[in-house]
Amino acid sequence: MFTITTWGESHGAGVGVVVDGCPPLLPITAEEIQAELDRRRPGQSDIVTPRNEADAVEILSGVFEGKTTGAPIAMLVRNADQRPGAYDEMREKFRPSHADFAYQAKYGARDHRGGGRSSARETIGRVAAGAIAKKLLSAKGVEIRAFVARVQDLAIPETVLSEMPFPSPAQIEASAVRCPHAATAEAMIERIKEVRAAGDSVGGVIRCRVHGVPAGLGEPVFDRLEADLAKAMLSLPASKGFEIGSGFAGTLLKGSEHNDAWISQDGKPRTATNRSGGVQGGISNGEEIFFNVAFKPTATIMLPQKTVDARGAQTELTGRGRHDPCVLPRAVPIVESMAALVLVDHWMRQNAQCGTFQL
């Protein structure tokens, strides 16, 4: 129902998004959207890519006198700091663990400059749309907080993580790495600087927590809430895994240890624990929704690697261009945005089926 269409390449004219199905009468400004884009933009700190992009957004349609009209909202970000020449070598050589070869095999052509369509600049559109979705959810009392829970082996201690109160935006933004646990954040930043200095890269895990989702969102079979969240997260560049609630670790428990007992709180059913992660049978149960997303180490590294060229000959390639040694800090607002888009969509679906005809 709430759909987004993104377009654009890393080194083309720009990138953008069209948001279709947005509820009318939502007050929204370019500044609010810009604030979210600033959280994912390059050059925001000394542990991310130095590509110099303001990523300034223009709202082209769908907003009139400060409010949404219900018409499609088109948003445009022009590319500024393009250095396509930096990619000449990639025209002929497939970068390891990048999409170059797969695109070539699929389409018989590709825009090689900075990965073209496969560049993470595509996610600008998602974050711009996500800013609108987050504002809609906020009007319903729903808050979404993603943060970096682990970089390589440096993790927020499990006991801290499981007991952590719902973090504030300020706590997350307090460190450049967007980890709300200060000691861990410091170590993570150190590690990222080390691997960057070595021309290498690291990955890790982002946790996302969502407060305030009422029971009843999600479809029971194919479009389960966790299925759509999983799809949304695995659609992000560099993501390799998703787990909700107890996830992979929960498979080590017995049913008697794993089940969330129901307790009565003010006459309403609540779960004593939350290994379900806020979703049961594909449908939200009113508890906190939380999930983890695994991001692999950035594929672009400044070290020589074996590869093959377009003619099939063995060759070597050393990364150039400007890249993130670790994508996680900038992926935090993207994860939040995708979660918001999924939730708004499911909220609309739920209201369409169960709220239209009062029977």
Between residue 145 and residue 184, which ones bind a second copy under the rule CB under 8 A? 150, 152-153
Residue with tokens 């799809």: 231
Tell the smallest beta-carbon distance from residue 202 to a second copy (Å).
6
Report the distance separating Cα 19 and Cα 32, nearest Å. 16
Residue with tokens 């969502």: 210
User: Which span sits near a second copy by CB under 8 A: 163-171, 173-181, 182-190, 263-271?
Assistant: 263-271
**283-312: which residues touch a second copy (CB under 8 A)?**
283-286, 292, 294-301, 303, 305-308, 312
Question: Which region holds residue 97: left if phi is over 0, alpha if psi is between -120 and 50, else beta?
Answer: left
User: Which span sits near a second copy by CB under 8 A: 45-53, 67-75, 162-170, 178-186?
Assistant: 67-75
Under the binding rule (CB under 8 A), the answer on residue 109 touching a second copy is yes
Under the binding rule (CB under 8 A), the answer on residue 54 touching a second copy is no
Under the binding rule (CB under 8 A), the answer on residue 124 touching a second copy is no
Query: What is the C-alpha end-to-end distance of the chain, expressed in Å?
Result: 23
**17-46: which residues touch a second copy (CB under 8 A)?**
18, 20-27
Q: Which of 168, 134, 151, 172 is nearest to 332 (CA)?
A: 172
Under the binding rule (CB under 8 A), the answer on residue 247 touching a second copy is yes
**81-100: which residues touch a second copy (CB under 8 A)?**
94, 96-99
The correct pick among 145, 178, 224, 330 for binding a second copy (CB under 8 A) is 224
The correct pick among 54, 186, 241, 288 for binding a second copy (CB under 8 A) is 241
The correct pick among 136, 144, 188, 189 for binding a second copy (CB under 8 A) is 136
The correct pick among 45, 168, 318, 351 for binding a second copy (CB under 8 A) is 351
Output the 3-class SS for 77-146: EECCCCCHHHHHHHHCECCCCCCHHHHHHHHCCCCCHHHHHHCHHHHHHHHHHHHHHHHHHHCCCCEEEE
Q: Which of 272, 347, 358, 323 is nearest to 1 (CA)?
A: 347
With 0-12 CB in 10 A as exposed, 13-18 as middle and 19+ as buried, what is 7?
A: middle
